[in-house]
Each structure stands twice: as C-alpha cells, then as structure tokens.
Structure 1
Amino acid sequence: MKDVFVRLATDFLSALIFLAVYLVTDSVVLATSVAIATAIAQVIHARLKGRSLPFMTYASLGLVVVLGAATLLTHDPRFIFAKPAIAHFAVAVFMLRRGWMLRYVPPIVAETIPEYVTVAGYAWSALMLALGIGTIAVAATGDLKLWALYITVVAGGTKIAAFAIQLIAFRLIVASRIRAARA
C-alpha cells in the first residue's frame, strides 16, 4: 500500500511543485520552469540510480515538458493544470485491460475472488476517467485555488476512499468465501 502512495506522489510531484512555487511566488513562468526542471531531475535521478523506468514515467515527462512549454509561451497555467487529467485518462485506458489488477492484490484475493478483482479494475478505470474529466473542467476555470482543492482533496481523497472501500470489501468477500468453503 505504501508503494501505491509513493508512486502517486512521484507521478504528481511536478504538479505539486508547480502549485507550491506558484502559490509562493505568484509567477506562472517560475512555477512552470521549476516543474519542468523537477520532472527532468526525477528521470535523471532514477536513471543514475539504475532504475528502469516504465513508459508512463517518460509519458509524464513529455506531458510536463510539452504542457509546460505551452504554459511558458502563453503565460496560461491551465496547460499545466491539465497534466493530471491526461495522466488520469492514460491510466484509465490501461485499466480497461481485463485482469490488470490481479497482480496488485495479495495472492489470496487473486485466487479466491478473481471475478471481483476484475470488476474492481473496471471500476477504477471509470473512476480515473471521471477524475480526468473533472480535472479538465476545473482547469478550464483557470482558478488555481479551485484546481489545488480538486487535485488534493477531491482527486486524492476519492482515490484513498476507493482504495479503503475496496480493501474492506475484498476482506469481507474473501473471508465469506473461505468460511463457505470450510462449511
């Protein structure tokens, strides 16, 4: 579980850095430049540590650079605001693959209730799509405070709540199946 939150923080680090710098300096140019530098530094750091990086890391870097460049050219932070939405859409597409989630759950869950895990995987895809659409809608307003609230409280909180609900549901269903098998 800790790995999931570390990955999420890593994936959205440049957006969080952008937000922090923008709130402190009120400079779109500085915040965007620091966000781009952060994304590049993340990739360089991982490569220097010898870590192989998945496609999504490079895709995220590309988004930060392209959307950051658009932000710098137009002085409009909405381009950077849209980056989490694009990431949500990409993840939603990946999550449409049947059974993707089976490798992320404990073996007892994968063996006992694989059909529920598959349904949960599709539910996660729908959630990511909905959060991406919400992010685009909020980004279109150009309101930094609303965007920050949405990304941290709504998007982050929704994922944490969905994870908690899924964890409890899987535990209850697995326990029920094990009791039924013993009876």
Structure 2
Amino acid sequence: MKDIFGRLAQDFFSTIVFLAIYLITDNVILATAVAIAGAIGQVIYARYKGQTLGYMTWASLALVIVLGGATLLTHDPRFVLAKPAIGHFAIGAIMLKRGWMLRYMPPIVTETVPEYVTVAGYAWAALMFGLGAGTIAVAATGDIKLWAFYVSVVLIGAKAAAFGVQYLAFRVLVGSRIRAAARA
C-alpha cells in the first residue's frame, strides 16, 4: 500500500507542487515555474539514482513542460490546470481493456464473480473519463481556487467513494454466490 501511495505522489508531484506554491503565494506564474522545475528535477534525480523511468513519467514531464510553458507564455493558468485531465483520460483509456482489474482482486473475488470484476473495470474507466471531463470544465473557468478544491477534494473523494462502493458490492456479491452454492 505504501508503494502505491509513493507512486501516486511521484506521478502527481508537479501538480502537488503547483498547488502548494499557488496556495502559499497566490501567484500562478511562480507556481507554474516551480512545478516545471520540480518535474525536471524529479527526472534528473531519478536518473542520477539509476532508476528506469516509465512511459508515464516521461509523458508527465512532457505535459508539465508543454502546458506549463503555454501558461508561462500566455499568463493563462487554464493550460496547466488541464494537465490532470489528460492523465485521467489516459488512465481511463487503459482501463477500457477487458479484465484489467482481475489481477488486482483477491482470488475469492476472481473465482466467484469474475464477470462483475469486468463490469467494475469499465465503471472505473467511465469514472476516469468523467473526472477528466470535470477537470477540463473546472480548468476552463480559470478559477484556481475552484480547481484546487476539485483536484484535492472531488477527484480524491470520488475515487475513495467508488472504492468503498466496489468493496461493499463485491462483499455482498461474493457472499450471496457462496451462500447460493452451499444451498445447491
């Protein structure tokens, strides 16, 4: 679990840096510049440590530089605010692969209700696309305080709620299948 949160923090490092600097200084240009420098520094540090960098790391760096650069050139924060949406769209597209979620489920779930796991995988993809669209809509307003609330509360809260619903649904479904099999 610690490894998962570490990877998430690494993947969203530039967004976290941007948000922190903006909330401290109320300066979009400074926050964008520091986020770009932080993303570049993160990659340099990883390379120095001899870590192999995955596709998502390079894609994230490119997005930070391109969208952050557009923000710096135009003084329009909407470019950098849209970055998390691109990540959500990419993850949603990956989640469209049938059965992607099976490897993350405990054996009792995959053996008892595999068809529901596939449906849940598609539901997660839909959630990612919806959250990405919401991020674009909020970014388009240019309201950074609204965006900060959205990325720090709504995005995280929606995923936590979806995880909770999924957990309860699988407990009920597995339990009812096991009871039905015992009766038969």
TM-score of the alignment, normalized to the shorter chain, above 0.5: yes
Aligned-partner SS, 1:53? coil
Q: Which amino acid aligns with 2:10?
A: T
Aligned residue in 2 for 1:125: 125
Query: How many Å separate the matches in 2 of 1:32 and 1:152?
Result: 17
Q: How does 1:150-165 map to 2 (within 5 A)?
A: 150-165=150-165
Q: Which amino acid aligns with 1:13?
A: F
Instruction: Provide closer, same or farther for how the CA distance between residues 51 and 101 of structure 1 changes in structure 2, counting only shifts above 3 A.
Output: farther
Instruction: Provide closer, same or farther for how the CA distance between residues 59 and 172 of structure 1 changes in structure 2, counting only shifts above 3 A.
Output: same
Query: How many Å separate the matches in 2 of 1:12 and 1:70?
Result: 19
Moved more, 56-65 or 88-97: 56-65
Gaps spanning 5+ residues in structure 1: where?
A: none
Instruction: Provide closer, same or farther for how the CA distance between residues 23 and 129 of structure 1 changes in structure 2, counting only shifts above 3 A.
Output: same
Q: How does 1:52-67 map to 2 (within 5 A)?
A: 52-67=52-67
Aligned residue in 1 for 2:72: 72
Number of aligned residues: 183
Moved more, 43-52 or 89-98: 43-52
Cα deviations by residue, 1:31-88 (Å, 9 ceiling, x for unpaired): 1121112222333333444443332222111111111111111111111100001111
Instruction: Provide closer, same or farther for how the CA distance between residues 28 and 89 of structure 1 changes in structure 2, counting only shifts above 3 A.
Output: same
Are 2:170 and 1:170 equivalent residues in the alignment?
yes
Aligned-partner SS, 1:137? helix
Instruction: Provide closer, same or farther for how the CA distance between residues 32 and 59 of structure 1 changes in structure 2, counting only shifts above 3 A.
Output: same
Q: CA RMSD in A?
A: 1.7
Query: How many Å separate the matches in 1 of 2:53 and 2:107?
Result: 25
Return the TM-score normalized by structure 2: 0.90
Moved more, 173-182 or 95-104: 173-182
Aligned residue in 2 for 1:19: 19
Return the TM-score normalized by structure 1: 0.91
Moved more, 25-34 or 40-49: 40-49
Query: How many Å separate the matches in 1 of 2:105 and 2:5?
Result: 15
Q: CA deviation at 1:137?
A: 0.6
Instruction: Provide closer, same or farther for how the CA distance between residues 59 and 85 of structure 1 changes in structure 2, counting only shifts above 3 A.
Output: same
Query: How many Å separate the matches in 2 of 1:146 and 1:77?
Result: 13
Aligned residue in 2 for 1:135: 135
Moved more, 22-31 or 120-129: 22-31
